[in-house]
């Protein structure tokens, strides 16, 4: 039902928010947000989310790709 409505479950929604924040932090000109994103890159939370979604930390995707990655993983979770 959630897939057909285009809605993620809570776990995937939180992951997408985290990944989106980190993605935006890497591309912003705001020094404070940029540093937050840089520091978060070295946390266990960030690394575990990247591992879960098969994202290479050094090649972190742009904001537009984050949503696609999370939705693909969500679909795979539903159909497995």
pLDDT at site 1: 45
CA 70 – CA 34 distance, rounded (Å): 23
pLDDT at site 6: 63
What total of structural domains would you count in the chain? 1
pLDDT at site 76: 85
Structural domain includes residue 2:
no
| Close Cβ partners of 26 (under 8 Å, ≥ 6 residues apart) | 34, 37, 38, 60
Structural domain includes residue 8:
no
Structural domain includes residue 13:
no
Structural domain includes residue 54:
yes
Whether the per-residue pLDDT at 57 is higher than 80: the answer is no
Q: Across all residues in the chain, what is the average pLDDT?
A: 82
Whether the per-residue pLDDT at 49 is higher than 70: the answer is yes
Structural domain includes residue 52:
yes
Closest C-alpha among 37, 40, 13 to residue 24: 37
Structural domain includes residue 68:
yes
Whether the per-residue pLDDT at 58 is higher than 60: the answer is yes
- pLDDT band for position 48 (50/70/90)? very high
Structural domain includes residue 23:
yes
Which domain range does residue 30 map to? 19-79
């Amino acid at each position: 039902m959630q897939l057909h409505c285009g809605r993620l479950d809570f776990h995937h929604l939180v992951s997408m928010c985290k990944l989106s924040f980190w993605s935006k932090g890497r591309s912003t000109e705001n020094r404070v947000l940029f540093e937050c994103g840089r520091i978060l890159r070295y946390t266990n939370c960030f690394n575990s989310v990247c591992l879960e979604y098969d994202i290479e930390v050094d090649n972190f995707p742009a904001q537009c790709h984050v949503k696609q990655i999370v939705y693909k993983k969500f679909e795979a979770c539903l159909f497995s």
